[in-house]
Amino acid sequence: MSTAPDNLDIWLSPDQLFDGQKLLTDTSIHFVNGACAGLSSGSQLPADATVKKLTGLVTPGFFDIQINGGGGVLYNTSPTQEGLASIADAHHQLGTTALLPTVITDAPDVLEKAVDAMKDAYGTHGIKGIHIEGPHISVERKGTHEARWVRPLNERSLELVRDLRDRDIPVLMTLAPEGVAKGDVARLVEMGAVVSVGHTDAGAAQIKPLLEEGANLFTHLFNGMSQMVNREPGAVGTGINSSAFCSVIADGHHVADDMLRLAIRARAVKDHMILISDSMPTVGGPDHFTLYGNQVFLKDGKLINKAGALAGAHVTMLESVARMITELHFPAEEVLRMGLSNPAALMGLQQSVASLQNTGSADMLLIAPDYKSFSFLSQML
């Protein structure tokens, strides 16, 4: 990756520019010493400006709030500062420049080590916080999570979250109504954690109190949750009807494309859908890894465990964005918000993650017109 000279002053003029909210045309971005110094329409450029035309779309890199692993490393089995750096760097090279590494249901000491590692790794390598997915979930909807480690929310988990929040480290926690008592979600929200409903077999009547206490996300909508039927909306219908955010895995394997279209059209609030990868170590790594002592392997683009069930995803954020735009035909501006500004809004990180002015050229992408490839903008300077 190239580094801009100290005296560089240049305007880059791409076909399209995503500023974190809107997709702009006829707009150039000004770089001084590798940092964004402003935007200008083509007609307003200074007379002496050095301008370089670019083919494609310029955008800040993507923000993925659910990354279990990458580059051959799984957070659960390598809960160290070095493990987190390896995961983050693998995804950075694939266009995801901000992330929440995700630790899933496991033994109590794994969560302890994961939290300790996050204290050291936060703020480095694009790491913007932690996603704790489980262990306070439903065994019936555990998915690939290990049933023996599923347990109710306890004081130690609350202490770990409080410790992270006292250090101003963002925390996203996925849990189920089956795993919490009345008031637990409110306590987490009061600490400043973002709470998500996921891996639950509960119906609407059990889920709505969590929303009233402040839960503001449904984790990978459709997957690991109760479904809609004629007399019970389940977690899926409750999420779609709510004003909370909903994350989705758009790899073409976890959710049928028509169901994605249906859910997005039906949302009660605009810009409350979030793309996630739910990626595992095979992204940027080998075609297999070990989870809970068992082999998970890549087959026909899907990650399969010993039972033949899906075990996480093998997809990048760029691939997800490309599918949503080129195959499902959603507007590019809407999809880009799903991969950047919507998750930033959920986590309260709009300025640090989804703003051109606060993004260096090494974390900006020039995406090809067909969305199949990209370069870092630093390579264009």
The residues annotated as belonging to the active site are 278
Indicate the burial class of 258 (C-beta count within 10 angstroms; 0-12, 13-18, 19 or more): exposed
Reported as half-sphere exposure (CB side, CA atoms, 13 A), residue 157 has a value of 29
Residue 107's identity, in one-letter code, is: A
| 8 Å CB contact between 57 and 91 | no
Residue 173 CA to residue 168 CA, distance in Å, equals 15
Cα–Cα distance for residue pair 171/11, rounded to 1 Å = 37
- Determine the Cα–Cα distance for residues 126 and 140; give it in Å rounded to an integer: 34
What whole-number distance in Å separates Cα of residue 60 and Cα of residue 95?
Answer: 9
H or E element in which residue 126 lies: none
CA distance 280 to 314: 6
Please give the structure tokens belonging to residue 203: 């119906």
Q: What is the DSSP string of 326-348?
A: HTS---HHHHHHHHTHHHHHHHT
Under 8 Å between Cβ of 14 and 377: no
Could you tell me which residues are beta bridge partners of residue 286?
Answer: none
